[in-house]
Amino acid sequence: MIGRRAVLAGAAVGGVAAALWAARELSDPVGEFLDESGDAPVTAPDPTAVAPTTLPIHRELAGATLVYEISGDPTPLRIEEVFARRLEDSLRSHWQAAGWGAPATLTSYGTWIDTDGPADSWHHAGRAFDVGRVVSASGDEVVSCRYDRWGDAPAAARRAEESAYWRLAATLHRDFEYVLTYLYDEAHHNHIHVDDGRSRGERSAFRRGSRVQVQAVQAMCRHVWGLDVDVTDRWDDATRAATEGVLDRLGVGGRLTGDEQWHAFLTATARGGPPV
C-alpha cells in the first residue's frame, strides 16, 4: 500500500469479529478549497474522533460483501450509520447506472481508523470509506481503483480502466462533496477516498476553485466523454467550453456551476457519457 501502514485488529462483537483500522501513517485532509475563482469561501465542521464501539458493523454495502483489499478476506467494517446509508444509496444508483445487478464484492482499505491525537480525517469519525475494487458475481473486476496497477498499462487496456474508474468517481462526486482520486496525490493511487464531512446528507455543489473537483471534471471529459481536455487542475476556458458542450448535448444547457447542471453532468457521466 503506497504511503501508508495499515494494521487490522479484530474486535469480537456479539460473537462476530469486526475488522477495524487500528493505525495508519497517512490521514486524508479534511478539505481543500484553495480558491482563486471568486467563489465564496467554504466552511465545514471538523471531524471528531469516536470510539470503535460506537459504530455499527457492516458486512456489506449496496448488496456487495465488504472485503479487505490487502488480504482479500471478507471483512466487516465499522461505519457511521448515516454515512453508511448515504454511501449505500450512492453505490446502488451506480450499479443501476452501469446496468449491473449488485456486485458480489466491494473491496476497501478501510473506514474507521484510530488516532492518538486530534482528529484530522473523517476516517477517525467512521465517516469515510476507501474504495478499492468492485467485483462481479462471476469474479470479473468491473471497476478497479488500483491506478497503481493499471496506470502504466497499454493504451487500450488503460482506456477501459479509466472509463470505469471515472464513471464511479462521477457518482461519488455527485453524492459527496469531498472525493479524492489518484490525481490528488500518490497516496491515493490505490483507492478512491470518499467522506461526508462537508456534504452531510446532501448532494455536492461544484466550485471552480476546488482542485479535486476541477481535476475530476477534466478527467471525466477526457476519459468518459472523449473530449480533448487537459488535466490542468484549474478552471480554464477549455474545460468551461467542454462542459457547456456536454450540458447542451444533455438538453440541460447552462454552466456547471449550477446544481442542476452539475448533477446532470455527473449522472450522465456515470452512465457512460456519449452517445446522448
pLDDT tens per residue across span 19-36: 344 333 334 554 444 444
CB-facing half-sphere around the CA of 109: CA atoms within 13 A = 27
Q: CB–CB of 150/182 below 8 Å?
A: no
SS3 222: helix
For 31, 81, 136, 163, 189, the CA distances from 184, given in Å and listed in that order, are: 12, 27, 28, 18, 9
Cα(first)–Cα(last) distance of the chain, in Å? 39
pLDDT value, residue 41: 55
Backbone dihedral angles phi then psi of residue 238, each to the nearest 5 degrees: -65, -40
pLDDT value, residue 14: 29
Each domain of the chain, given as residue ranges in start order, spans 8-270
Grid cell listed for 46: 471538523
CB-facing half-sphere around the CA of 135: CA atoms within 13 A = 18
DSSP string of 230-245, one letter each residue: ---SS--HHHHHHHHH
178 bridge partner residues: 195
Least confident range from 2-16, 163-177, 214-228, 231-245: namely: 2-16
Higher pLDDT, 263 or 15: 263
Higher pLDDT, 201 or 21: 201
Average pLDDT over residues 113-135: 93
pLDDT value, residue 118: 84
pLDDT tens per residue across span 227-273: 999 999 899 999 999 999 999 999 999 999 999 999 999 999 999 98
Q: Are strands 60-61 and 57-58 parallel, antiparallel or unpaired?
A: unpaired
Q: CB–CB of 133/107 below 8 Å?
A: yes
- Is 8 a residue whose pLDDT tops 60? no
> What is the rounded average pLDDT for all residues in the chain?
86
pLDDT tens per residue across span 60-88: 999 999 999 999 999 999 999 999 999 99
pLDDT value, residue 6: 37
Higher pLDDT, 1 or 194: 194
Residue type (1 letter), 244: E
Percent of the chain with pLDDT over 70: 83
pLDDT tens per residue across span 76-123: 999 999 999 999 999 999 999 998 888 999 999 999 999 888 888 999
Tell how far CA 164 is from the center of its chain: 13
For 92, 129, 170, 183, 270, the CA distances from 97, given in Å and listed in that order, are: 9, 21, 11, 24, 6
Element housing 260 (H / E): helix 259-270
pLDDT value, residue 228: 95
Average pLDDT over residues 207-221: 96
Residue type (1 letter), 120: D
